[in-house]
Structure 1
């Protein structure tokens, strides 16, 4: 039995009308009748009872319908999946974010998943001290990173969200009793510094090397991960600007987060390898662009 004949049979079991079946499948009514007669001859029994008023399935037709439906649906699902892969709409896309920043781009993630349900979207964490490593290693396809990114092998997409910085200090630090601080205060206290391949110009946007008046900001404890930074800050020897989004999810008794009145704002955008721009990467960037909310 040809796939088209199976389709005609199953459609007729739903419509129970030769004319409507032909119209739905964009074939002639005679084509439908011919197909059913051929199937009945091949099987050796009637599949439908036909009268001038109605078309009904015979018990044999009902049994055949039930057996064919599951197989037909599986075949069509396989065809659709193969076509989606050919169009680049299926497969796996890995998106990297820093800490909990995936929460800030949830609208983009949700919209992408709605549009591409056959794609497996994976989320991985990117260390702030090594923002470009996972991209270059191919362990993530897109990284949501703060700007600027001036790397010749990487492409930067549209800004997706913004994040103000707060100053994290130990609960017993001299600054802890303040309601707010200024960037100039960084000149009086050592700050954590990243032990990783993050370029200086990228870290400068997060923790400036000089205060607004030009005083140097001293480097204190070196850290690799955010948790290492928090441990160092809680020890009281260093302070550090921290993204306000991250700070809101890391409330703890040994650290105080203070607003920085003149602090920088981090701007985050999708970044991907020049040679790694696939249809799925473009689809995610499109979803991210359309899901942006006014700020």
Structure 2
């Protein structure tokens, strides 16, 4: 069996779908089918059961898959290490994040990156909103997973990795907490908790607007220094905060409720980096992040 045929077999064993296998390997469905038939002739038995509705591995196919996978992974790691060395992908990639869902993606990518590029180490750390762009500017980080857009001199952003619907975090006893959804116009009746500095202006407009789309003023709530203060302030009935909808899964606690917005833009999350350029390891890490996010 040639290496390409092994790759086709293992991909089909994972996908169990000829069309998806062809798309993933940038081949035609006919090429995938021909390769599998050739392998079955060489081995002398069927590797897959095929019907009009489903594809499944035979017992012979499962045996071959289990025997081939470790060797194929070892070959792929050897190729990746050689390619990494040729591209200068060695050393340490320092990655920051501002939300727990960005942390999840950064840590997942870090594990995959270290496995793919044995000569690289990935360090992941939290960045506080009070000094959101400071670690990047000071060269303490190579890149950062954060809210976009973060327009600021010397900082480049993109790609966008995922887009989140917004929600309003309100005190559980507030009238808005009883609704199925809220509008941006409803913000005229609730004070928003403010940042005491550190956020780029482009993000302040998204997170802490001062007027509704119709021009009504939005009251000011208390200011926070670190984000964990916000749920406590909301639970105390001192204000509300615009958050990503998935914050309900990460920050639920007594005294607060999360109500989705039915209008307004999404909250976008992606990569921030210095506009002056990035190292080969950092560029490769961004490519991996985009693959995982998609």
Q: Same fold (TM over 0.5)?
A: yes
TM-score by length of 1: 0.66
Which residue does the alignment assign to 1:252?
253
In the TM superposition, residue 126 of structure 1 has moved relative to its aligned partner by 1.6
User: What SS is found at the alignment partner of 2:159?
Assistant: coil
In the TM superposition, residue 232 of structure 1 has moved relative to its aligned partner by 0.9
User: What SS is found at the alignment partner of 1:203?
Assistant: helix
In the TM superposition, residue 85 of structure 1 has moved relative to its aligned partner by 7.0
User: What SS is found at the alignment partner of 2:175?
Assistant: coil
Does the 8 Å contact 2:170/2:240 carry over to 1? yes
TM-score by length of 2: 0.66
In the TM superposition, residue 105 of structure 1 has moved relative to its aligned partner by 5.3
Residues in 2 aligned to 1:106 and 1:163: alpha-carbon distance in whole angstroms: 19
Does the 8 Å contact 1:105/1:160 carry over to 2? no
Which residue does the alignment assign to 1:156?
157
Task: Say if 1:204 and 1:286 are closer, same or farther in 2 by CA, change over 3 A.
Answer: same
Which residue does the alignment assign to 1:268?
269
In the TM superposition, residue 117 of structure 1 has moved relative to its aligned partner by 2.8
Which entry has the higher C-alpha Rg, 1 or 2? 1
RMSD: 2.5
Residues in 1 aligned to 2:256 and 2:139: alpha-carbon distance in whole angstroms: 36
Which residue does the alignment assign to 1:231?
232
Residues in 2 aligned to 1:104 and 1:244: alpha-carbon distance in whole angstroms: 17
Which residue does the alignment assign to 2:92?
92
In the TM superposition, residue 106 of structure 1 has moved relative to its aligned partner by 5.7
Which residue does the alignment assign to 2:212?
211
Task: Say if 1:227 and 1:264 are closer, same or farther in 2 by CA, change over 3 A.
Answer: same
Does the 8 Å contact 1:148/1:205 carry over to 2? no
Q: How does 1:109-258 map to 2 (within 5 A)?
A: 109-258=110-259
In the TM superposition, residue 125 of structure 1 has moved relative to its aligned partner by 1.0
1:287 aligns with 2:284: no
In the TM superposition, residue 84 of structure 1 has moved relative to its aligned partner by 6.2
Which aligned segments of 4 or more residues in structure 1 are displaced greater than 6 angstroms? 83-86
Task: Say if 1:179 and 1:254 are closer, same or farther in 2 by CA, change over 3 A.
Answer: same
After superposition, the C-alpha distances for 1:188-246 in whole angstroms (9 at most, x for unaligned) are: 11101111221222211223221121112122110122211111111102011112223
